[in-house]
């Protein structure tokens, strides 16, 4: 592109250039423009403002998500103490509703936009948490946690879509790596806040104080968030970065996939790659949730440690999360050139081997602490790449919410299995039988299957507009 052409284009729109100058000769794709070189301070400010507020929003959802976990400590004591079966029932009610909600809110995020879904889901979560602090019966708490599960499931898919609107494929691995630190940070702050409130004022405040905190996040989201660059007079991110937009189906064009249309939702729902990622996440998620929900009990039974020490050793799994997702995102962009599958496959197979031998780790605090850290480090790489980055890549920013909803809905169904697995093993093998070796072998098999399912997609990338244009025109060469 010569200087005269550059000057001429920038007079009207600093981001526009003729498509024919970028695509192969004889291949002209209407409505695909590529930017001139440069950085726009306004664009950059909006990008990182949206990154910050969506990061805070998803971390904020954990404030009302973790309240019941803290309240369990108090509900399990006294003359009307809840049993283990009671708490398992309530957790299962929550996880089931969360899984169902992922599918509903994923589609809603694409149809109605991130803003409407998040503001509605977050406010409903605040109200539900406030009500939960006024009751103590098992069945009413289970019903309210069902509602809370539906509210919580509104968060991930629409917010992931929002990030995809402002960050392009070439940088998405690193950006999503940074963004995915939100659930580790949110979980840590939520537990600390709910625990401090409960110790100071009683267990009901474990619901009320976090709800107040989430209301502050709701206000910030209302004032700071926008759905996409076009809402503030900026061009699409692909145009700003000079990337041709991806399409959901090979041979299609962006013009045939209008944002918010049922056609896009239908294409995502019929995408074999999206459902494959969903199956992988279904097989991956039992391990993550079993460690999250049962690791303190496992450590206690194996080492005889108290509640605090058992919880700290199990939390080594969470501590590895931020390091893992940051490294995984960077490597997927820079080393594997935006391919998300190679690193996911290698990590899944490695963690499968570790889980198979996990019960043979040394019976020491150091051994189990390092073991849980290693599991978290290996597991969070494919967790973040499959559920976040690849969901946006293959759902594209137009269908990212639906894709993330499907993938995370399948994963949440796997989380239910992870929660129930120790109970099922004990019921199958009999009380008094040491179940954990069987549990870890089952998880190892599940993770190995996930890696093998993903292996044939080692080099998979989403179709690009250039490829679509060439397929439709029958001219030129594929990119």
Q: From the options 3.40.50.300, 1.20.1250.20, 3.50.50.60, 3.30.830.10, give the CATH code of 258-479.
A: 1.20.1250.20
pLDDT band at 21 (very low <50, low <70, confident <90, very high): very low
Do residues 374 and 354 lie in contact, with contact meaning Cβ atoms separated by under 8 Å? yes
Nearest-angstrom CA–CA distance, 131 and 175: 36
- Write down the pLDDT at residue 85: 74
Nearest-angstrom CA–CA distance, 391 and 286: 19
Do residues 359 and 298 lie in contact, with contact meaning Cβ atoms separated by under 8 Å? no
pLDDT tens, 448-466? 999 999 999 998 888 764 4
pLDDT band at 259 (very low <50, low <70, confident <90, very high): low
Structure tokens at 403: 């894709």
Nearest-angstrom CA–CA distance, 76 and 78: 7
CA-based nearest residue to 161, from 105, 110, 205, 200? 110
Q: What is the third-level CATH fold of 39-243?
A: Growth Hormone; Chain: A; (1.20.1250)
Is 346 exposed, middle or buried, given 0-12, 13-18 or 19+ CB atoms closer than 10 A? middle
User: Residue 464: phi, psi to the nearest 5?
Assistant: -105, 165
Structure tokens at 295: 């690791």
Nearest-angstrom CA–CA distance, 295 and 298: 5
Specify the pTM: 0.78
Structure tokens at 251: 């041979």
Residue whose token pair is 């709800």: 211
Sketch the domain layout of the chain as residue ranges.
39-243, 258-479
Mean per-residue pLDDT, 178-190: 83
- Write down the pLDDT at residue 260: 66
Nearest-angstrom CA–CA distance, 3 and 7: 6
In this model, does residue 430 exceed pLDDT 70? yes
Q: Across the chain, what does the average pLDDT equal?
A: 83
pLDDT tens, 342-359? 999 999 999 999 999 999
- Write down the pLDDT at residue 476: 40
- Write down the pLDDT at residue 35: 43
| Concatenated DSSP letters of 107-175 | HHHHHH-HHHHHHHHHHHHHHHHHHHTT---HHHHHHHHHHHHHHHTTSHHHHHHHHHHHS-HHHHHHH
Asked if 39-243 and 258-479 have one fold, the answer is: yes
């Amino acid at each position: 592109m010569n200087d005269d052409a550059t000057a001429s284009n920038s007079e009207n729109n600093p981001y526009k250039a003729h498509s024919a100058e970028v695509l192969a000769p004889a291949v002209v794709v209407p409505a695909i423009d590529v930017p001139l070189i440069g950085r726009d301070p306004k664009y950059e400010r909006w990008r990182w403002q949206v990154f910050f507020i969506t990061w805070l929003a998803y971390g904020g959802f954990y404030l009302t998500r973790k309240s019941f976990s803290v309240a369990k400590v108090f509900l399990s004591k006294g003359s009307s103490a809840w049993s283990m079966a009671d708490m398992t029932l309530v957790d299962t009610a929550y996880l089931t509703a969360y899984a169902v909600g992922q599918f509903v809110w994923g589609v809603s995020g694409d149809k109605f936009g991130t803003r409407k879904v998040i503001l509605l889901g977050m406010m409903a979560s605040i109200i539900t948490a406030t009500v939960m602090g006024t009751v103590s019966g098992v069945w009413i708490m289970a019903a309210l946690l069902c509602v809370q599960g539906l509210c919580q499931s509104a968060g991930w898919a629409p917010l992931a879509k929002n990030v995809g609107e402002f960050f392009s494929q070439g940088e998405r691995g690193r950006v999503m790596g940074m963004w995915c630190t939100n659930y580790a940070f949110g979980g840590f702050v939520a537990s600390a806040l709910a625990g401090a409130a409960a110790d100071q004022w009683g267990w009901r405040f474990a619901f009320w104080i976090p709800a107040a905190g989430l209301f502050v996040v709701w206000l910030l989201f209302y004032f700071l968030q926008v759905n996409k660059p076009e809402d503030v007079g900026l061009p699409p991110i692909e145009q700003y970065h000079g990337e041709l937009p991806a399409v959901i189906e090979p041979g299609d064009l962006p013009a045939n996939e209008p944002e918010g249309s049922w056609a896009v939702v239908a294409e995502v729902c019929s995408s074999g790659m999206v459902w494959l990622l969903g199956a992988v996440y279904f097989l991956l998620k039992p391990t993550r949730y079993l460690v999250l929900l049962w690791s303190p009990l496992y450590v206690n039974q194996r080492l005889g440690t108290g509640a605090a020490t058992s919880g700290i050793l199990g939390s080594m799994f969470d501590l590895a999360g931020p390091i893992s997702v940051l490294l995984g995102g960077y490597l997927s962009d820079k080393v594997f050139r935006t391919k998300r599958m190679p690193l996911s496959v290698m990590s899944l197979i490695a963690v499968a081997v570790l889980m198979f031998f996990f019960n043979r780790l040394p019976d020491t605090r150091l051994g189990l602490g390092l073991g849980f850290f290693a599991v978290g480090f290996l597991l969070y790489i494919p967790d973040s790449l499959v559920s976040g980055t690849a969901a946006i890549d293959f759902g594209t920013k137009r269908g990212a919410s639906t894709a993330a909803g499907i993938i995370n809905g399948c994963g949440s169904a796997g989380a239910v299995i992870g929660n129930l697995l120790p109970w099922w093993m004990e019921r199958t093998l009999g009380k008094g039988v040491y179940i954990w070796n069987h549990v870890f072998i089952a998880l190892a098999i599940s993770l190995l299957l996930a890696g093998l399912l993903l292996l044939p997609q080692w080099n998979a990338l989403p179709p690009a507009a250039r490829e679509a244009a060439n397929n439709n025109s029958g001219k030129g060469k594929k990119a």
